[in-house]
Amino acid sequence: MESLDTHPNVILGQAELIHDELTVSQALARVANEITLALADESPVVLCVMGGGVVFAGQLLPRLTFPLEFDYVQASRYHNRTDGDALQWKVKPSSIVRDRTVLVLDDILDEGITLAAIKTECLALGAKQVLVAVLVEKALNQDKPIHADYIGLEVPNRYVFGCGMDVYGWWRNLPAIYAL
């Protein structure tokens, strides 16, 4: 049994709504349009960053109107906590990326350490180019080792959850974005 301060219903009850479901949906439509315009002739490999990117990828992919191949990677620094630690790979990119345009889909660009490592790994495997699309980018007062090519929404420098992002392992399934 989790303690009261990490009980999922208590967390949600005390959270602040940052972006509602309609705003998220509109951002997804805009990002899908931007990606389609840029990559329609590329037949890219799309890599979903598991598990946070699964909601973003699941909502974005049906909106992309061009042929693509799909795969996934899994690397994490959070492990059901709210602070990052050393990067741990569970599934690295495969050789499918060689000589291809790669589009990496993730829920959030926070400090950028995980996404930078994924991009580096894809390039080391011979990817022609690696583009990054994120549902949200966290506004930080520091430089990041990577930039996103496609950004749905911006969020404040707070711990956010919903739309694939979790808090203590909970609430990835929310259709809106909340902050602690």
Burial class, 84, CB count within 10 angstroms (exposed 0-12 / middle 13-18 / buried 19+): middle
Residue 1 has pLDDT above 50, yes or no: no
Name which residue leads in pLDDT, 67 or 82. Answer: 67
- What is the per-residue pLDDT for 87? 81
**The amino acid at 158:** R
Q: What is the DSSP letter of 28?
A: H
**What are the φ/ψ torsions at residue 59 (nearest 5 degrees)?**
-90, -30
pLDDT in tens, 72-98: 999 876 655 555 567 888 999 999 999
Q: End-to-end distance of the chain based on CA atoms, in angstroms?
A: 21
- Domains delineated in the chain: 4-75+89-179 (3.40.50.2020)
Q: What is the DSSP letter of 80?
A: T
pTM above 0.85, yes or no: yes
Average pLDDT for 10-15? 92
> CA 147: distance to chain centroid?
13
